[in-house]
Each structure stands twice: as C-alpha cells, then as structure tokens.
Amino acid sequence: MKIIAVNGSPRKGGNTDLLLDEMSRIFERNQIETETIFLRDLELKPCDACRYCRQHPGKCHIKDDFPPIFEKSLAVEGIILATPVYFGSATPPIKAFMDRVGYAAKGMRRPLERKIGAGVVVARRAGQNFTLAQLYFFFAVLGIIIVPSPHYWTIAFGREKGKVAEDEEGMVTMGKLAENMVWLAKKLYS
Ligand SMILES: Cc1cc2nc3c(=O)[nH]c(=O)nc-3n(C[C@H](O)[C@H](O)[C@H](O)COP(=O)(O)O)c2cc1C
C-alpha cells in the first residue's frame, strides 16, 4: 500500500512542505509507504491538447518528466494533491499535473478509479475554497474517492515560510486527514 503526495509549491521548505511532513509522520507511524513528488524539482510542461495520448494510451509526446510521474500515479493506492493558493487558484505545476495525468488517464480504462485522493491547500487569506474544489473536481471526474478530514476542510493559513505551523487548527486538520486516509486505505486495500 502506497500513497504519493504531489507537492505543487515552488517554494522549498515552505508551508505546503510543512503540512505534508505532518501527514507523512502519520503514514510512517502506520507503516504506510509514502513518497512526496516535488514538482518543483521536475519538469512538467502544460498539456498542449495534441491528443497523442488518445492514440498511444498512457503516453505523452512532450519530452519531460511525465513518464515516471504518470507511472507512480497509476501504481499507488492514494494520491494527495497539495498546493498553495496563487491568485485564487492551484499553482501551475499542480495544474500541469492534473491536466497531463488526468487526460492521459482518461485515454485509458479508468486506471485511477477507486484510488483514494485528498486535497491539501494553504493560503495567506483568500481563494482556498475554490482551490480545494479544483483538486476535488480532478478526483471526482477520474473516479477517485475523496477523503475528507473529519476535523475541518483541508485548508491551512500562512504566508511566510513556516507560518502555517502557527495555524493550530490547520495542522490538526491535516493530521486528522492523514489518519482518515490510513483508516480508509486499510479498509479498502488490506
Ligand atoms: C504568486 C503568488 C500568488 C499568491 N496568491 C494568493 C492568493 O490568491 N490568495 C492567498 O490567500 N494567498 C496567495 N499567495 C500566498 C501563498 O498562498 C502563501 O504564501 C502560501 O503559504 C505559500 O505556500 P508555500 O510556502 O508552500 O509556497 C500567493 C503567493 C504567491 C507567491
């Protein structure tokens, strides 16, 4: 059983990293393998709508780091999409992930169906609900089961690096989200 966390923050050591670290600790404690994919360290260009993936299922003509990212997305049981809010929206790397992975998956026989998915959003002040909805719409159209946190919507607040640690409710919310993912993953896949 494995969960990947797709980190869409361009900022190393920032608030998104902190929230995912908190969740990873809970996965480790529960012996669930986790890997964070730092999109900032990879090249993932935007989808160019060529529809190559329709003629070549699971393949993309753009020469970048898509193949290992797609392979990992298909291989795991759980996917976390984590993003800061940029101008009221998910960041471009997360959008590229959703467009490329989602569209390629749509050209296959629903390979992401019945995986579990969770969204993690951090904002300074506004746009967080819309951004979480963006992530949830991605999961929903691909048949991925959305996992909520029983504590609150999976949103946290902070601007400067590390500031989110002071958002106690946000940190607890993400911890409870990780616990819920563990609970559901064990029910579905063990
Ligand atoms: C280009 C840019 C746009 C941003 N737009 C918003 C926004 O629309 N709403 C908001 O609340 N915060 C916005 N922020 C603040 C970030 O969401 C916030 O600093 C967040 O903690 C960054 O997460 P990180 O540390 O993981 O990079 C923006 C930051 C940047 C750099």
Model pLDDT, residue 45? 98
Residues with CB under 6 A from ligand 1: 9, 11, 14-16, 84-88, 122-127, 158-159, 161
Cα 121 to Cα 151: distance, rounded to the nearest angstrom = 15
What does the pLDDT read at residue 33? 97
Atom of ligand 1 nearest to the CA of 88: 8
Q: Which atom of ligand 1 is nearest to the CA of 87?
A: 8
Distance 12 CA to ligand 1 centre (A): 13
Q: pTM for the whole thing? A: 0.98
Atom of ligand 1 nearest to the CA of 13: 25
Per-residue three-class SS string for 80-143: EEEEECECCECCHHHHHHHHHHHHHHHCCCCCCCCCEEEEEEEECCCCHHHHHHHHHHHHHHCC
| CA–CA distance, 2 with 116 (Å, rounded to integer) | 11
Domains of the chain: residue spans and CATH: 2-189 (3.40.50.360)
Task: Tell me which residue has its CA closest to atom 4 in ligand 1.
Answer: 86
Ligand 1 center to 159 CA (angstroms): 6
pLDDT tens string for the chain (190 positions)?
A: 999 999 999 999 999 999 999 999 999 999 999 999 999 999 999 999 999 999 999 999 999 999 999 999 999 999 999 999 999 999 999 999 999 999 999 999 999 999 999 999 999 999 999 999 999 999 999 999 999 999 999 999 999 999 999 999 999 999 999 999 999 999 999 9
Q: 83 to each of 36, 50, 54, 92, 95, how far by Cα in Å?
A: 13, 27, 28, 10, 10
